[in-house]
Amino acid sequence: MGRKAAARRRTALVTCQRTRKVRFRDHRQAIEALHRAANARKWSLLRGATTRRREQRAYPCGHCKGWHLTSQPLRLDLQTEDDMSLNENSNWEVEKCVAS
């Protein structure tokens, strides 16, 4: 399989030039990816296997205007608890994209 074959794939992944992470077009796509990752983890555990997939949250990126997934712990200094309670789905929290 060469590069041409990979480029022709229907679900080619777009990455953010700033964060080098997979870029999702909107919040919904990011959440769907989170759920797929969670399911992959669950099935791996059932089979007694381990997985390196630890994506936990989605956050909007100010550089590419898209969304990324992160496994980093929630940075409470960026968000108040009142803001968090507005999210009916507690599986995700919003975090600023910090350039490193």
Contacts with Zn ion by CB under 5 A lie at 16, 19, 61, 63-64
- State the minimum distance, in angstroms, from the CB of residue 57 to Zn ion: 14
Angle at 25 between CA 19 and CA 27, to 5 degrees: 95
CB atoms within 10 A of CB 58: 25
To the nearest whole angstrom, how small is the minimum distance from the Cβ of residue 23 to Zn ion?
6
| Nearer to Zn ion among residue 58 and residue 64 (C-beta) | 64
For residue 78, the minimal CB distance to Zn ion (Å) is 16
